[in-house]
Chain A
Amino acid sequence: MPRPAILRFAAQVLACAAVAVHAQAPPPDFRQWVAIEKDGVHDPRGPAVQSLQQPREALQPLAPDGAGNQVRWVEALRQGQINPRPRLHGTQPLEVRDTEIYLNLRGGTPIVKFPHLAHTQWLACANCHEGLFRKEVGTSGLDMRRILQGEQCGVCHGAVSFPLTECNKCHNTSRIGFHAPDGTPQGARAALVVPPSSTAAAR
């Protein structure tokens, strides 16, 4: 092999290796958090800014997201990155429920698949029922205009859980090829999905 050909071959091998290494590297993390002494709510002249934990320190190790705290809280819990205490005094564990509810079946935007599981891992039943939402499927009168005004789902989503700019996190199920679960009445707005392995009683 003439010399220039050898050099070219070596360069090609190196380039391939570089591509392979790059493909294995984790994606770059561009998230930034404002330090508390600069966040506009803490008094930078007060003593607390010296002692309080910085958001970057607590949140950077957690599953990344592009909005809110820039953390996928449900995913961080699932992966065991955090293990927040579920109860203070009570020995009763949180009542986990794994049924899902299809919502917005008659709307125009994609269907909402609401997971009870992700919500009941954090919240108690009484946080939503029967105040914010009724237990009976399809009777809560969900309305995007009210949600945008901070009611219904908007009590949390837009204030503390992922914000309402993330449409497709809730509107996550395409209408194309969608079939409502068996037993859903014609023209229903919502339908209950009970996973085959579920221990929850079907309602």
Chain B
Amino acid sequence: MKRARALWLPLMFIAAIASLPAAHAEYADVVLNKHAEAEGVRPVVFPHWFHRVRFRCAVCHDELGFKMRAGSNEVTMKDIVDGKFCGGCHNGDIAWSPDRCDLCHSGKPGLKSGIYGGHHSTGPGYW
């Protein structure tokens, strides 16, 4: 009986871990939270996959001036409203306008800025 309990406890522990919901973002989702939460809104989740279906890389990374390293762009709401960065499209013409706050500011509170997403190995660097 004692032995049976010794076996069951670790098994239940493993089962509990395995049944936790797998939470991982889609590959290359970017979280922007330099200013968002400090200003009292949710962090921004930028889905690369959604935009890649509709735009080539050059639109944002050449024409709109987004540098290709997460965290190296100083994106403010003032710039966006003035038509810079996200505001190049999010102007109510090509895509929803900046007054639809919740659609972009949709992240979980407390997330750090950076690139998220699955299929990472446990190797070194930013793999």
A88-B63, A163-B119 given; A149·B25 CB < 8 A: no
Instruction: List the B residue with the shortest CB-CB distance to A89.
Output: B63
Describe B's contact surface by its main secondary structure: loop
A43-B108, A94-B56, A154-B125 given; A127·B27 CB < 8 A: no
Determine whether the beta carbon of A88 is less than 8 Å from that of B50.
Answer: no
Contacts of B116 in A (CB 8 A): 40-41
Determine whether the beta carbon of A127 is less than 8 Å from that of B115.
Answer: no
Q: Mark out the residues of chain A between 17 and 70 whose CB falls within 8 Å of any chain B CB in the assembled complex.
A: 33-34, 36, 38-43, 46-49, 51-53, 55, 58-59, 62, 67-69
Contacts of B42 in A (CB 8 A): 43, 46
Determine whether the beta carbon of A86 is less than 8 Å from that of B120.
Answer: no
Among A41, A123, A155, which residue has its beta carbon within 8 angstroms of that of B25?
A: A41
What interface size band does chain B fall in? Answer: 35 or more
Q: List 9 A-B contacts (CB under 8 A).
A: A39-B23, A41-B108, A48-B104, A53-B50, A69-B49, A86-B58, A88-B88, A158-B127, A159-B28
B residues lining the A interface (CB < 8 Å): 21-29, 31, 42, 45, 47-50, 52-59, 61-64, 68-70, 88-89, 94, 102-109, 111, 115-116, 118-121, 123-127
A residues lining the B interface (CB < 8 Å): 33-34, 36, 38-43, 46-49, 51-53, 55, 58-59, 62, 67-69, 71, 73, 82, 84-90, 94, 121-124, 126-127, 148-150, 154-156, 158-160, 163-165
